[in-house]
């Protein structure tokens, strides 16, 4: 199969790009592994008209709407490799299937590398969180915590105090300097230096954090600025420039979401340090428009 554009990734960024390309009556091949980053969350917040909706339901609706356009095709799977050809790009799936295209949009997303603490992974996206703008309102004025993973955790604690009483769990790491401590204290942030042993609570709810020595502290939501990694290495295969972001690698793009490789665009979490459904969708729209116009001009 040869398409005008192949989109690698079928979540919010990829589907937004595909929608605009399909409406421009261009042929679009969408490769999707079916593992969106926010699959762990029951609700998505901050996206106009969809506040509080299930991410899975939103994606199911979007996928059906994109599939209704006759020039779109979905392929389940992952891209194992991409190479440039005389007329564009050749994308090989893990199954061995090959898709050709004149342009390429990377929207395969990222995955979070969570700290190894008992009770943390099973609460990720429910009561262990990464974004206060996405989930903070629902935990307003409750016991909030920030798990120290890097110097950025201090910034996170200063921000999250906006939503309620906050404790910064240093987890055995060295404390911040005196000036930073004064800032934290000024925001009412408490400092807990003792290493964290485990998280406890009923089901997906967080109720307390167990510290080394057996002491327990009450916590309703714990924020973690986890490291993350790109879900695919096809950008490296294409020699796209990649920068180091605050939590992981970021594919470099210009204002129209084109990478440093002509004909290759990228959108969503793989191109920015700040993440949300709204940003991913907006990036996808930009990449879709830019890819389409590059086919003309």
The pLDDT value recorded for residue 192 is 98
The pLDDT value recorded for residue 176 is 93
Backbone angles phi and psi of 165, in degrees to 5: -60, 125
* Overall average pLDDT of the 204-226 stretch: 98
The pLDDT value recorded for residue 139 is 98
Buried/exposed code over 227-241 (b: 16+ C-beta within 10 A; e: otherwise):
ebebbbebbebbebe
Q: Whole-angstrom Cα distance, residue 286 to residue 124?
A: 30
The pLDDT value recorded for residue 237 is 93
The pLDDT value recorded for residue 195 is 98
Res. 95 pLDDT band, cuts 50 70 90: very high
Backbone angles phi and psi of 249, in degrees to 5: -75, 145
Return the closest-CA partner of residue 26 out of 7, 4, 1: 4
The answer, yes or no, to whether residue 97 has pLDDT greater than 90, is yes
| Alpha helix positions (H), the chain | 12-23, 55-67, 132-135, 152-160, 178-186, 234-237, 277-294
Q: What's the pTM value of the predicted model, to 2 decimals?
A: 0.96
Res. 28 pLDDT band, cuts 50 70 90: very high
The pLDDT value recorded for residue 52 is 96
Q: Whole-angstrom Cα distance, residue 287 to residue 297?
A: 15
Q: What is the pLDDT of residues 105-115, one digit of tens each?
A: 999 999 999 99
Question: Which residue ranges form the domains of the chain, and what is each CATH number?
Answer: 2-112+227-294 (3.50.50.60), 115-224 (3.50.50.60)
Q: What is the pLDDT of residues 67-91, one digit of tens each?
A: 999 999 999 999 999 999 999 999 9
The answer, yes or no, to whether residue 280 has pLDDT greater than 90, is yes
The answer, yes or no, to whether residue 272 has pLDDT greater than 90, is yes
Beta strands at 79-85 and 166-169: parallel, antiparallel or unpaired: unpaired
Q: What is the pLDDT of residues 233-265, one digit of tens each?
A: 999 999 999 999 999 999 999 999 999 999 999
Q: Whole-angstrom Cα distance, residue 32 to residue 108?
A: 8
270 backbone φψ class: left, alpha, beta (φ>0; ψ -120 to 50): alpha
Q: What is the pLDDT of residues 125-178, one digit of tens each?
A: 999 999 999 999 999 999 999 999 999 999 999 999 999 999 999 999 998 999
The pLDDT value recorded for residue 1 is 86
- Other Cβ atoms within 10 Å of 166 Cβ, number: 25
Give the percent of the chain with pLDDT over 70.
100
Return the closest-CA partner of residue 103 out of 261, 278, 271, 272: 261
What angle, 0 to 180 degrees and rounded to 10, lies between the N-to-C axes of helices 178-186 and 152-160?
Answer: 20
* Overall average pLDDT of the 176-203 stretch: 97
The pLDDT value recorded for residue 9 is 98
Q: Whole-angstrom Cα distance, residue 214 to residue 132?
A: 29
Instruction: Tell me the three state secondary structure of residue 121.
Output: helix
Q: Whole-angstrom Cα distance, residue 65 to residue 171?
A: 46
Beta strands at 242-244 and 249-251: parallel, antiparallel or unpaired: antiparallel
Q: Token pair of 77, please? A: 């799977």
Res. 19 pLDDT band, cuts 50 70 90: very high
The pLDDT value recorded for residue 118 is 98
Order of strands, edge to edge, in the sheet holding 128-129? Answer: 128-129, 221-224, 144-147, 166-169, 190-192
């Amino acid at each position: 199969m040869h398409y005008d554009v192949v989109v690698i990734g079928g979540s919010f960024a990829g589907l937004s790009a595909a929608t605009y390309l399909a409406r421009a009556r261009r042929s679009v091949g969408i490769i999707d592994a079916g593992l969106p980053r926010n699959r762990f969350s029951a609700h998505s917040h901050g996206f106009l008209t969809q506040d509080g909706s299930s991410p899975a339901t939103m994606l199911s609706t979007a996928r059906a709407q994109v599939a209704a356009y006759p020039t779109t095709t979905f392929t389940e799977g992952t891209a194992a490799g991409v190479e440039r050809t005389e007329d564009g790009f050749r994308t090989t799936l893990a199954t061995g299937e090959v898709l050709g295209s004149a342009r390429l949009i990377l929207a395969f997303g990222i995955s979070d590398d969570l700290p190894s603490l008992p009770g943390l992974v099973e609460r990720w996206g429910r009561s262990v969180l990464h974004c206060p703008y996405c989930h903070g309102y629902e935990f307003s004025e409750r016991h909030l915590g920030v798990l120290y993973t890097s110097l950025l955790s201090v910034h996170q604690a200063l921000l999250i105090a906006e939503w309620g009483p906050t404790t910064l769990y240093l987890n055995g790491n060295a404390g911040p300097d005196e000036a930073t401590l004064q800032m934290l204290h000024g925001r009412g942030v408490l400092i807990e230096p003792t290493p964290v042993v485990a998280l406890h609570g009923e089901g997906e709810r967080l109720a307390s954090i167990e510290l080394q020595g057996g002491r327990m502290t009450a916590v309703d939501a714990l924020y973690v600025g986890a490291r993350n990694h790109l879900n695919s290495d096809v950008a490296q295969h294409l020699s796209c420039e990649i920068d180091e972001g605050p939590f992981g690698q970021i594919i470099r793009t210009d204002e129209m979401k084109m990478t440093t490789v002509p004909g290759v665009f990228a959108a969503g979490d793989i191109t920015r340090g700040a993440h949300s459904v709204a940003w991913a969708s907006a990036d996808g729209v930009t990449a879709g428009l830019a890819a389409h116009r590059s086919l003309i001009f």
